[in-house]
Structure 1
Amino acid sequence: MKPSFFNRISDRIFSQSCAKSLDSVSVILFGYVVLMNSWVGEDSYITFRTVENFLNGFGLRWNVYERVQVYTHPLWMFGIAFFGALKIPLFYAVLLLSWICIFGSSFLLVRSRSEKKETFAWILLLLVSCRAFVDYSTSGLENPASFLLLILLFKQGETLLSNPNGKDVFGFALILSLAYLNRQDTVLFGVPYLVRLFLTSFRNGQTIRWMGWGSLGLLPALAWIVFSLLYYGYPFPNTAYAKLNTGVPSGELWFSGFLYLRNSVLWDPVSILALAFPIVYFAMDRKKRFDPEFLFPILGILFYLIYILKIGGDFMAGRFVSLPFVAAVFVLTKIRHRSVAVFGFLCFIFFMILNPRSYLYTTATYSRARMDGKIADEKSMYFPNANFFRSFFVSEYPDHGWAEQGRKYKKEKSASPSRFSVCATLNVGYFGYYSGPERKIVDVYALTDPLLSKLKSARPWRIGHFGRNLPEGYLESIDSGENRIADSNLKEYYEKLKLLTESPDLFSKNRLEEILRENLGGNRQLLARYTDEREWQEIPKDATCGLGQGF
């Protein structure tokens, strides 16, 4: 019986001679798509301002007069600082770091496909077919390092499933620790392995020994938590308090999370198809269904998707989906069936080659600004003013309006365009970075503000943008250095907060006691007594940074 036309084509594609050609082409295409679509978004400049202040001797601060951890990714931040210390402009420093991580991740995914003679082209082509992956392979955010650490975590996790020893436990804990330092929620992918490891240690009597090795591996994360407590006064980044301490009902957040995943279905179907493929495949395969090598990464994916739903998703389309997508591709590399490779090739053909709007055809002037409710195509919003190739042809780059306003603000002889030496705004990335270190800037979304992040958000809110109303007397307090907040409860809390964030003596008895009291909830009643039921109030005209008064 003659093989069907499809089988003949399939045999030809997977032949050794054709595989080599496909692999070579895929490497070129992968590199082209990643480089041509490289960009650095506005949010990354929040971290850049801290890096710049750190390299200039002001410490790990955003506003130099106070200590606030405005970045969620200490590991990523120090990576940028490393290249910045080599006098590489931060725009190019973060791109260089991103490229190292992204090409390292793709190399590990290719290597995880053990059959040497089989084509790996489908892996690279599937990766670049996913908008979420391409968008956040650069962007200036920590995603590329999370991709790399996640793959390393899975590969090290595989050793824990066979015959683990103390060194294997140490290796897994160390990678998990680094993943935590890069982005804390990434540890959700390691939970299934930790549970298995804990149960195994009981069976073989290695609990104490393995806990010792694991503790050694976790030392980087533990050391950072201790440092963060002593330096900033809190164990977690200020962004966590700003985005998770909002007062928004959980039902509204779950619905927002559902809309976020729905957006991926509409705008980036490759990401959802890649997530669904391994889940459906192993649900139907009775032999593989409970194989930990496949089950644990899939459980990690499910845990992370539930987490996305719980926090309400994000305003950046695809950003949070990109990490489970990479996890799904890792699982797909473990499936020994041609259907997986065919799936990768088909995704590339239909969503890249045949799609005139695909990233295969991106140019330096690419623009496709669009919104899906409160979710934005973040890359398309900033790409025209912030892409890699265009940066060579513009003297002051990026040439975005917010960056231009920041440069103007820095040059002004007068202290501020407002009546204060401080101004408030909703857009602190470009503006904050280019305003220079001496400027005091209040972020109404509270990402960089230690007081506002502890207050409930006002309505209307947008996911990832939880605006706070400015308490009466707050700007006057920052302007003068004296506590002039009108509300007595909030005034007392702010006085305690200033001890944590502004005291020059990190190790004074009063400050250490206040750190303990604050983190154990001893000051919570002061915040509870302060109520502001008003809807969103525009920033006063005489206090804005010149970027508008808000929505």
Structure 2
Amino acid sequence: MELVNSALEKLLSFFQKPLPKFFFPISCILFVYVVIANSWVTEDAYISFRTVDNFLNGFGLRWNTYERVQAYTHPLWLFGLIVLSFCKIPVYYSSLILSWICVGTTVYLFISRFGKKEGDWQYGSWILLTLLISRAFVDFSSSGLENPLSFLLIILFLSKAFDLEKKVDFRGIFLFFFYLSLSYLNRQDTVLLGLPFLLYLYKPFKERESWGKFIGAAVLGLLPVLFWSIFSLIYYGYLFPNTAYAKLNTDLTVSHLWPYGLDYLENSFRWDIFTSLSISSIILLLPYFVWKKRFLHAATSAGIGLYVLYVCSIGGDFMAGRFFALPFVVCLFLLSEISPSYLPRVSVLFFVALFLLNQNSYLYITKDYTRLRNDKEIQDEKGAYFRSTNLLRSFKFQEYPTHGWADAGRKYKKSPKDPDKACATINVGFYGYFAGENRKIIDSNALTDPLLSKLKSVSNWRVGHFTRNIPVGYLESVTSRQNQIQDPNLKVYYDRLKLLTESQDLFTKERFVEILRENLGGNRYLLLNSEPRTPWVGIPEGFACGLGVGY
């Protein structure tokens, strides 16, 4: 028995020791290698890239140059792309450089914060290794989407939120709400992770005599949201991006979407077990945090739970892991704050077992990697596009990405057929970007189309692809710039919509009245349709963009 106790003591002593300092340079080199070797860009990112190019070419923040539509979810990320692309960096590389900057800064903040507590920042090597175990994090540490900036902003927000426990002052409250505002501007639904912290702030507000001063700091921190909302309302005619209407205004109820959300959750457990277990463990610890009166920890856990519930309620997504990368980063932040003594060495064991010894891990990826995996409505998005869009392969080609839809766009731009004629497709990313700014493209999934985003989706929809049937006469209307829609109510609505999206003068009384009516639901009766949901009938004959059968 003494021998067993002695062995257990030695084992516990081993796990409670900090990691050797030589782990740090090794983990840094490994982290940089894996992130760069796994850098890629998804087709959906090119929807935003088209807006970037149109802005830099003097057309404004537009996707189709003839109308003002916010076809991007992430204003802050978009402006980051614009800044880098303005410096003559191709937008493909701009997205990767911006991703690396955000990920690198996130990791720096992580490690430096942990190092301050432990007395030496080199003890933070376990954080780098733990991030690499998460497929969701590695997949979306690039991709051209806004995830890397969301990682950075949530760490800035959480760091400030936890610091407020020690000192609540004007500057701290201002930065707390400022980082929350920036998170909103990067992607609106990420603020769910920060909402529980507002309850925590109630007590210091209540107890301080100068509470009015701190309310002022909060209002000042929220000004970016106010300014963007005013701009969006005036320029686009709406408070929210068109992508939100396309994906949430589908006439589908939560009961339709929940089963798909649960499938998304289940898929994460099967394809990315470490990420899923980490998130689940932190959520399950919520009662313990409340019992121990660790309210900051409880707020973090509740925010993760709230975010996951939201993801499930909207049906999850078709990109495996995309919406679990951010809550995983939040989980890791909370673990670094709790910092149990055994955590670094246990993390290294997980790293060795799940990453180093796993031949399917992203440590062993090559530029020709392809993994076409589908799980019901969910796809391994990186596996599908990596060979066509990864960084290492990009240096070998003058025209990149090397994807058929991109080639179709390039072909059209070089020798346009019917240049004034509108076309429709359900894959607008690559094609829309490479076809050029003059091509009038209608997105049947409604992400970039202000009219279709207000209609109910078809009966055979797919998560993240809420396709709409194109109204009779709509494509002819876009081509001729004359309203030829046959449905009488929809025809009236389209005339009113054009006032918002195509009027040359933004500041007319007529347009402001229409903005008010549209956003208060005054046009809703024109869109009501009690007929049952119908299957997708496809692209009207003669209006396909030519990306293949049905496109």
TM-score by length of structure 1 reads 0.95
The answer to whether the 8 Å contact 1:402/1:430 transfers is yes
- Offset at 1:530? 7.7
C-alpha change, 1:285 and 1:228, in structure 2 (3 Å) is closer
Aligned pairs for 1:424-503 within 5 A: 424-503=424-503
**C-alpha displacement at 1:116, in angstroms?**
2.6
Verify the 8 A CA contact 2:451 2:494 in the aligned structure 1: yes
Are positions 1:224 and 2:228 aligned together?
yes
| Aligned-partner Cα distance in 1 for 2:96–2:257 | 33
Distance 1:321 1:112 in 2: 23
Residue 283 of structure 1 deviates from its aligned partner by: 4.5
Q: Aligned in 2, Cα 1:401/1:4: closer, same or farther, shift over 3 Å?
A: farther
Q: Deviations over 1:115-144 (max 9, x none)?
A: 034732221111011000000000000000
Q: Please give the secondary structure, in 1, of the residue aligned with 2:252.
A: coil
Residue of structure 1 in register with 2:113 after alignment = 112
For 1:199 and 1:284, how far apart are their aligned partners in 2? 21
Match of 2:344 in 1: 341
Using the alignment, how far apart are the partners of 1:183 and 1:410 within structure 2? Answer: 32
**1:175 alignment counterpart:** 179
- Is 1:291 aligned to residue 262 of structure 2? no
Give CA-to-partner distance per residue, 1:50-73, whole Å, 9 cap, x none: 000000000000000000000000
**CA distance in 2 between partners of 1:191 and 1:15 (Å):** 36
3-state DSSP of counterpart to 2:320: coil
Q: Which residue matches 2:101?
A: 100
Say if 1:459 and 1:57 are closer, same or farther in 2 by CA, change over 3 A: same
Within 5 Å, give how 1:98-177 maps onto structure 2.
Answer: 98-113=99-114, 114-117=117-120, 119-177=123-181
Amino acid paired to 2:403: H
Equivalent residue for 1:546? 546
3-state SS, counterpart of residue 96 of structure 1: helix
Q: Which residue of 2 aligns with 1:85?
A: 86
1:338 CA drift (Å): 3.2
CA contact (8 A) 1:425 1:548 kept: no
8 Å Cα contact 1:72/1:183 also seen in 2: yes
Match of 1:313?
Answer: 316
The equivalent of 2:512 in structure 1 is 512
State the alpha-carbon separation in 2 of the partners of residues 501 and 167 from structure 1: 40
The question of whether the paired residues in 1 share the 8 Å contact of 2:474 and 2:485 is answered with yes
Does residue 239 of the first structure (1) align with residue 243 of the second (2)?
yes
Provide the identity percentage: 50
Equivalent position of 1:71 in the other structure: 72
Q: Secondary structure in 2 aligned to 1:39?
A: coil
Secondary structure in 2 aligned to 1:424? strand
Rounded Cα–Cα distance in structure 1 between residues aligned with 2:404 and 2:9: 55
| CA offset digits 1:347-391 (Å, max 9, x no partner) | 211211121111010111111110010100000100001000100
Aligned to 1:53: 54
Specify the SS of the correspondent of 1:172. Answer: helix
1:200-215 alignment to 2 at 5 Å?
200-215=204-219
Does structure 2 conserve the Cα–Cα contact (< 8 Å) formed by 1:425 and 1:549? no
Does the Cα contact within 8 Å between 2:135 and 2:321 map onto a contact in 1? yes
User: Could you say what secondary structure the match of 2:442 adopts?
Assistant: strand
Partners of 1:490 and 1:530 within 8 A in 2: no
Change (3 A) 1:279 1:534: closer
The answer on whether the counterparts of 2:37 and 2:365 sit within 8 Å (CA) in structure 1 is: yes
Verify the 8 A CA contact 1:421 1:440 in the aligned structure 2: yes
* Conserved 8 A contact 2:471-2:485: yes
The 2-side partners of 1:111 and 1:7 are apart by: 31
Residues 182-232 of structure 1: CA deviation (Å, up to 9, x unaligned)? 000111121112122234323324443222111111111110000000000
Task: Judge conservation of contact 1:539–1:549 (CA < 8 Å) in 2.
Answer: no
| Most deviating of 259-268 and 537-546 | 537-546
The answer to whether the aligner puts 1:184 opposite 2:188 as a matched pair is yes
Q: Deviations over 1:380-427 (max 9, x none)?
A: 1000010001000111100100000010111224325xxx70100000
Aligned partner letter, 1:470: I
Aligned AA (2:153): L
Going from structure 1 to structure 2, the CA distance change for 1:285 and 1:172 (only over 3 Å counts) comes to closer
- Per-residue CA deviations over 1:146-189 (Å, capped at 9, x if unaligned) read 00000110011113333312221111111111111100011112
Are 2:423 and 1:423 equivalent residues in the alignment? yes
Distance 1:135 1:218 in 2: 31
Aligned partner of 1:64: which letter?
A: T
Aligned-partner SS, 1:522:
coil
SS at match of 1:303: helix
Letter in 1 for 2:254: S
The whole-number CA distance in structure 2 between the counterparts of 1:212 and 1:436 is 46
2:390 maps to what in 1?
A: 387
1:78–1:445 distance in 2 versus 1, CA, 3 Å: same
Amino acid at match of 2:103: I
**Contact 1:75/1:182 (CA < 8 Å) preserved in 2?**
yes
Confirm or deny: 8 A CA contact 1:46 1:71 kept in the other structure.
Answer: yes
Unaligned runs of 5+ in 2: none
The one-letter code matched in structure 2 to 1:221 is V
2:305 to 302, 306, 310: 302
Cα deviation, residue 534, structure 1: 2.3
Whether 1:44 aligns to 2:45 is yes
Alpha-carbon distance between aligned partners in 2 of 1:195 and 1:186, rounded to the nearest angstrom = 17
In 2, are the aligned partners of 1:312 and 1:463 still within 8 Å (CA)? Answer: yes
RMSD of aligned C-alpha atoms? 1.9
Report the residue type matching 1:296 in the other structure. A
Indicate the residue corresponding to 1:521 in structure 2. 521
Q: Distance in 1 between matches of 2:401 and 2:12?
A: 47
**Counterpart residue identity of residue 428, structure 1:** V
| Number of aligned residue pairs | 546
| Mapped partners of 2:489, 2:247: distance in 1 | 23
Checking the alignment, whether the CA contact within 8 Å between 2:40 and 2:390 is kept in structure 1 is: yes
Distance 1:81 1:285, change over 3 A: closer
CA distance in 1, matches of 2:350, 2:543: 51
Aligned-partner Cα distance in 1 for 2:152–2:86? 23
* Matched position secondary structure for 1:32: helix
Is the 8 Å Cα contact of residues 538 and 549 (structure 1) preserved in structure 2?
no
Distance 1:342 1:88 in 2: 41
Per the alignment, do residues 482 and 348 of structure 1 end up closer, same or farther by CA in structure 2, a change over 3 Å counting?
Answer: same
Aligned to 1:325: 328
- Residues 409-468 of structure 1 show CA distances to partners (whole Å, capped at 9, x for unaligned) of 11224325xxx7010000000000000000000000000000000000001011000000
The SS at the match of 1:19 is coil
Instruction: Return closer, same or farther for 1:540/1:549 CA change in 2, 3 Å cut-off.
Output: farther
Measured in 2, the distance between the counterparts of 1:490 and 1:183 equals: 31
> What is the CA–CA distance in structure 2 between the aligned matches of 1:40 and 1:503, rounded to whole Å?
34
Q: What does residue 350 of structure 1 align with?
A: 353
1:365 aligns with 2:368: yes
Q: Secondary structure at the match of 1:346?
A: helix
